Structure formats: structure tokens, C-alpha cells
Amino acid sequence: MLGLLITGSAFSQTGSTNSETKATTQVIKRGEFNDWFFGVNGGAQVFFGDHDKQMDFGDRITGKFQIYGGKWLNESFGIRAGVNGWKIKGLTQTHMYSTGEVYDASQWLETQKFNYFNVHADLMFHWFNDADGQNLNRFYNIIPYAGIGLAVVTNDPGSVKFSPNLGLLQTFRLTDKLDLTVDVMGNIMGDGFDGEIGNRNYEGSLSTMIGIQYNLRK
């Protein structure tokens, strides 16, 4: 009888230890999911305005930069906020933001340039983590996202438009803390963002940026 009591007590202690270990492991995992991240990137963009299709595609390409920060809420979903932008190039028939350079006199077209920035907040979906669980050593990740923001033209007379976005962030693991990123983003702005009202209900941009992301893990 005494032997059974001793064995039962030892088994109970072992089970308690195993439960505590499992609980500790779960807490550690939840802490890993609660990652913060910060990034900076730069690349190229193209704007789609009322008359821009009449300009050679290569002539419309301009630079774009972005800084952002965010947090993973769990292994599948995260949020981030950022600001991006720089310069947009296209064509105008109304001299709005014109450089004074005549592009096509037969169509009254002049080259247009203006500066802008876009403040946005995104909901991010970690595709690989959701499908296969979190793996901090995974080299490559695909993260689709969707967001909302405001796009602001800084040249006079200026413009402010609501700007939803869709994008795809790809990360390539460099170290435990650093990732190389490729961010493809599409933005929609309301008609008139470039200072001209046309026959379309919206204007927009498409960009690809490469950068570095720092992951602050607990």
C-alpha cells in the first residue's frame, strides 16, 4: 500500500511537471507571435492618371520610398502603419503641375510632375504561418495585405484623397532579426488627385519596393 502511494505521488508530480512545461512552452510561443517589426524600403512606381496612357510607360516611372512599423497579433494576422510616396510623373492638358515641357502639341499635352505622400494602415495575413505554423527559421514568407489611407499632394493647390491599397509583402530571412523584403503595392485614389477631372472615377499607382525589415522579438 505504501509503495502504491509513493508511486502515485511520483506520477502526480511528474504529470504536474509536464503540465507546467507545456504551459510554459505555450506562453513562449504566444510571446513569439507578439513580434514587433520595423522597415524601410525604396523602389519604383507608375501612376495611372487621365492622360498618362498617352505617355511612354518608361517615362512615367518614378521613385518611391516607405517607412513602416507593425505588430503580429498572432501567428496569422498582424497590423502595420506607414508612410510612403515621393514623386509622380504624367501628362496634363490643363497645365496643372506642369513642368512647362510640351510632350505632344497636337493633343495639348504637357509633362506633369508633383510630389505626394500616403499615410496608411494595413491588415496583414501571414499565409505560410497560417498554413504550416510559425517557423522563425523559414527563409521565405508570403504576406498579403489590405489597407486604407490618405494620399496628399504637397504641391500647390494640393489634393487629399482617400486611398485604399492592396499588396503582397515577401520576406527573405537574413539573420534572426533582419529580413530582406520585396513589397508590391497598388493604391487607388479618387479622380482629380493629379489636379484634373476626367471620365474615370478613380486614379491609382502601382509600385515595387525592396528594403530591410528589423524584427523585434521577445
pLDDT tens figures, 114-127: 999 999 999 999 99
pTM for this predicted structure: 0.81
Tell me what pLDDT residue 34 has: 60
29 and 45 share one domain:
no
Q: How many domains is the chain built from?
A: 2
- pLDDT at residue number 68: 98
Residues 23 and 102 in one domain: no
Query: Is 15 in the same domain as 47?
Result: no
Output the furthest CA–CA distance in the chain (Å, rounded): 106
- CA geometry: angle at 194 spanning 93 and 149, to 5°? 165
- Domain of 193, in residue numbers: 36-216
25 and 79 share one domain = no
Residues 22 and 72 in one domain: no
Q: Do 3 and 90 sit in the same domain of this protein?
A: no
- At 135, is the pLDDT very low, low, confident or very high (cuts 50, 70, 90)? confident
Q: Tell me: do 146 and 158 sit in the same domain.
A: yes
User: Which of 155-159, 182-186, 202-206 is modeled with the greatest confidence?
Assistant: 182-186
Statement to judge: residues 27 and 134 lie in one domain: no
CB burial of residue 1 (10 Å; 0-12, 13-18, 19+): exposed
- pLDDT-derived band of residue 137, with 50, 70 and 90 as boundaries? confident
Closest of 158, 160, 218 to residue 189, by C-alpha: 160
Q: Are residues 71 and 133 in the same domain?
A: yes
Tell me: do 53 and 149 sit in the same domain. yes
φ, ψ for residue 186, nearest 5 deg? -120, 130
Residues 13 and 108 in one domain: no
Which cell numbers in the block locate residue 122? 494595413
Indicate which CATH number applies to the domain containing 114.
2.40.160.20
Please tell me the total number of residues recorded for the chain in this structure.
Answer: 218
Give yes or no: residues 193 and 108 share one domain: yes
> In this structure, are strands 109-125 and 77-92 parallel, antiparallel, or unpaired?
antiparallel
pLDDT of res. 6: 39
